[in-house]
Chains A and B, each alone.
Chain A
Amino acid sequence: MAVSARSIGEAFVSIAGRDRVRDDTAALAAATVDGVQPRWAVRPASLEQLSRILALACDGRLAVVPRGAGSSQELGHPLSRVDVVLDLTGLDQVIEYNPDDLTVTVQAGISSGALAARLSPRRQWLALDPPGGAARTLGGIVATNASGPRRVRYGTARDLLLGVRFVQADGVVTWGGSKVVKSVSGYDVPKLMVGALGTLGILAEVTLRLHPLPEVERSWLALFENPRAAQALVERVVDSALQPSRLELFNARALAQASAESAGAGVAVSIGSVDEAVREQGERLKAIAESSAGRLVPLPEGFWGEVESAMAPLESSTVLHVASLADRLAGTIGAIEDAFRIVAPRAEVRLSGCAALGTLRVVVSGATAAETAAVTTRVRALVAEVGGSVVIARGSIELRRSVDPWGPVEPHALALMHALRDEFDPGRVLNPGRYVGGL
């Protein structure tokens, strides 16, 4: 039986109310993804509305694109079908905050900044600091598996997500995990939702593990002639009793943007603890840096804010996420910089990374899609040796059409991913075609 557009639109209105279902030109232009304008922009106000909207969309064989703060719209294979953009920022409530248990349950559309404001009076925080920071929604951070320098100590969303309520493609509300910090009852469903772009279900609520804010936190910057010397420092720090809460490496360009320092490479180290321990570890860090032929300068509090702006992409920038191994980091940085130098000599490449884990964020401006695609392919071949990856975290449609934005996935693993997608969203309602392997 045919479903008419008009009646679907009216049905959306009957679910969410007229002011939450937009089909006017301005709203649709604002909701456009990958150049495809949706037919409706819907902003549900409750879990129930979200569930009913999806049930309807599923029956109508519509393509639904979930959206939080909109910071990851240029991620994945370009969309070719977009019927509904589902704005989740209306689901922005703190459902349950248990400071004594260091857990919080929030609706997925709450911003990271709003959550932090709720937690900080109790001197607690969610230890996720992805670029783009406070404005991003928790649902978006989890669905894109976004992380920042803190991951060296606290891990990523997969380590902090305890429970998840999501709405499957057919509208069925489903819960996975638990609301306590330790549980092994049943499969670890929350992990499946991390980084899945909502393709197995749209996140509606997340329960997260919190951490106490350290009493004192101070940061230092160790400066070196080149990334290799910086990597040597990282290795010594990791192999010592120091417990850094950040251990972030910068290339010369990123460093110059974020600070007044000029050097071939820098490593910013944060130590958070009780005052005496921070001071004592700072001394040790100084000794390590000096014996590593580096110069150590204390950093002002504002430094990390500067890093945020230094590493923020411009309108036309591309962002690559490169994963290699810690002991290959300097080589990987060299290879990335060389590749751009050869292929796109005018490009500006700012680069930072979680040095102890071998992950890098590369912000490129001034390179064409073809140039960036060529570099992506080259670096992929290099990191493939160690099972690494290059993901285009943000890139133009042209770039994402000319090179697979995700890169290869192990064939048997990909077959399982297909099986899951076929099982849970056979009609490809959720973000169709956008995920790895065109899932």
Chain B
Amino acid sequence: MPLSGAFLQELEGIVGAGGLVRTFEGRLVYECDMHTFYKGAPDAVALPRRTEEVVEIVSLCRRERIPIVPRGSGTGLIGGAMAPVGGVMIGTNRMDAVLEIDLPNRCATVQPGLINLSLTRAVASRGYFFAPDPSSQMVSSIGGNVATNAGGPHCLKYGITTNHVLGLELVTGAGEVVRLGGKAADRPGYDLLGAAVGSEGTFGIVTAVTVRLLHAAEAVKTILASFTAIEDASEAVSAIIAAGIVPAALEMLDKLMIRAINEGTGAGYPKDAAAVLLIELDGPAAEVEAQGERAARICWERGALEVRVAADATERALLWKGRKEAAGAVGRLAPTYLLQDAVVPRSKLPAIMRELIAIGTRHRVQIANVFHAGDGNLHPLILYDDRSPDQLERAKAANEELLRACIEMGGTVTGEHGVGLDKAKNLPLQYGEADLNFMYRLRRAFDPDSIMNPGKLLPSHPACGEGFRPARPRVPDGAWI
């Protein structure tokens, strides 16, 4: 859908020539996010600096019924920040100012393009931090974190993005600037703020975010325990939780992943280990000390091969090194992979690991696992060679089967990456027609003309679309005269 010259001229009038990407090469940069499967370049990319410019862009697109795709740093993993049907992409990269830091009230207000880690860096010297820590935090934007309701290794204790967002300024699909929430708690009215976080740009574009800042923990202890069987590691996880310990992070790697990491970065995990458990505790020193000892003891009791405790920050970084480089390390095993993000109840970890092995065998694909064991959030990497169409098909089949297995165990199709284009088709696994219909109607309140990030977050199943009403319960006979 090429945009008219007049439209582009109007767009340029809003953001200036320097804020508009029109060339083919320039637009190509924006054709996908980190899920490189899905490609679709926008017809133009606008890079506004101010809320007013965003309002004008949205109003212009609305007038012309041109789709809008919001984009932060493009580090999403779900095909969320790409333009399947073209249209105008609004990149928030130039909106990256810290608007206010208010330490007495422990919050900060920032523009959406600010990089996640930049905020923590801005307040670290005063002893504070911004808790959501997706692995992409060095490059991902806070606006993007809000859009996907991003998690991260430490959300086991601290919660995901939504638990840390106090307020939003949102330009809705109707072109209205609406302020949801704010520094003061308990605003009367529906929690539209809560609904907007994780709405993946389908309600509008976030132009400012007020987030909670937390006081940094006094002490941190990182423990690495390796096991000869993944069941033992899973049992250790359950035992730690049962002991009333809520670690800041509780991460697990399986045998294949351990091998890849050992061959790659040389994290030095024991060769015989079939599972590595990374436990991080933080809080007051005395608590961390006592709980750390107990967690280590639990690991020994569950038959750990080895338990290492980091003595200082350098050692801690070393223990995390392998985990952080996991996705890169699998490059040694296969040219590419499908990354999954499903969740099972934590207690189902041993069962789902057995199921994963069976699925891998059935479809003749290798599956390497790195996951947030503490909250049951799996990240299986299904390895394949993209030069072989057959391998890709098998990987896809394994992927679908895996999602189904997670749902059957009471889980969810995405724990922290989001839905995007990638998983829109999978939502019916988890939700019935009435549930999806409710979400469609919610979306329409914010975006009456369906211009905001079309095709994302919800499936385009006709039964869920416009005008559809789910079946109502039967009204007894005789109720009507």
Question: What residues make up the interface of A, taking CB atoms closer than 8 Å to B?
Answer: 1-4, 7-8, 10-11, 14-15, 48, 51-52, 55-56, 59-60, 98-103, 123, 145, 155, 158-159, 168, 170-176, 178-189, 191-192, 194-196, 200, 211-215, 235, 238-243, 273-274, 276-277, 279-281, 321, 323-327, 356-359, 383, 386-389, 391, 406-407, 409-410, 412-417, 419-420, 423-424, 435-437
Contact = CB atoms under 8 A, between A and B. Distances in A.
5 contacts: A158-B191, A180-B412, A182-B377, A192-B192, A409-B188
B479 A184 contact: no
B291 interface: yes
Interface string B434-473: 1110110111111000000000011000000000011111
B189 A417 contact: yes
Given A189-B195, A409-B187, A274 B474 contact: no
A55 B479 CA distance: 11
Contacts of A176: 435, 438
Nearest to A275: B290
B184 interface: yes
Contact of A175 (B105, B284, B417, B431): B431
Closest 9 CB pairs of A and B: A191-B194, A241-B218, A212-B244, A277-B287, A100-B347, A183-B412, A327-B104, A412-B178, A277-B286
Given A187-B443, A241-B284, A387 B184 contact: yes
B21 interface: no
B186 interface: yes
Nearest to A407: B188
Contact of B473 (A55, A182, A188, A383): A55
B346 A184 contact: no
A387 B182 contact: yes
Contacts of A391: 186, 188
Contacts of B410: 179-180
Contact of B474 (A52, A358, A423): A52
A180 B344 contact: yes
B475 interface: yes
B415 A389 contact: no
A162 to B, nearest CB: 10
A359 B376 CA distance: 34
Interface in B56-114: 104-106
Residue among A7, A214, A281, A413 with the highest chain B CB neighbour number at 10 A: A413
A1 B479 contact: no
Contact of A100 (B148, B242, B474): B242
A414 B189 contact: yes
Contacts of A101: 345-347, 376
A181 B376 contact: yes
A99 B347 CA distance: 9
B66 to A, nearest CB: 23
Nearest to A14: B476
Contact of B286 (A181, A192, A276): A276
| B: contact size bracket | 35 or more
B151 A194 contact: no
A238 B218 CA distance: 13
A180 B345 contact: yes
Nearest to A201: B438
A186 B481 contact: no
A100 B237 CA distance: 10
A159 B163 contact: yes
Contacts of B291: 274
Given A52-B473, A184-B418, A327-B105, A389 B184 contact: yes
Given A11-B476, A238-B215, A417-B190, A98 B345 contact: yes
Contacts of B377: 182
Given A181-B375, A235-B104, A323-B186, A186 B244 contact: no
Contacts of B162: 188, 191
A13 B159 CA distance: 45
B423 interface: yes
Contacts of A173: 434, 473
Contacts of B149: 184, 188
A194 B414 CA distance: 23
Contact of A213 (B176, B177, B244, B480): B244
A182 B375 contact: yes
Nearest to A240: B215
Nearest to A166: B438
A52 B127 contact: no
Contact of B284 (A4, A100, A281): A281
Given A241-B218, A274-B290, A417-B189, A326 B472 contact: no
A145 B197 contact: no
Given A100-B238, A159-B159, A191-B194, A56 B188 contact: no
B184 A194 contact: no
Contacts of A242: 284
Contact of B184 (A155, A241, A383): A383
A188 B418 CA distance: 12
A87 to B, nearest CB: 19
Contacts of B163: 155, 159
B34 interface: no
B197 to A, nearest CB: 7
Contact of B105 (A159, A358, A413, A416): A358
A3 B480 contact: yes
Nearest to B104: A327
Contacts of B194: 158, 188, 191-192, 194
B143 interface: no
B180 interface: yes
B195 A191 contact: yes
A3 to B, nearest CB: 6
Contacts of B411: 178, 180
A386 B105 CA distance: 11
A182 B184 contact: no
Contacts of A187: 195, 198-199, 439, 442-443, 457
A52 B476 CA distance: 8
A358 B184 contact: yes
A184 B416 contact: yes
Contacts of A276: 286-287, 289-290
B404 interface: no
A184 B198 contact: yes
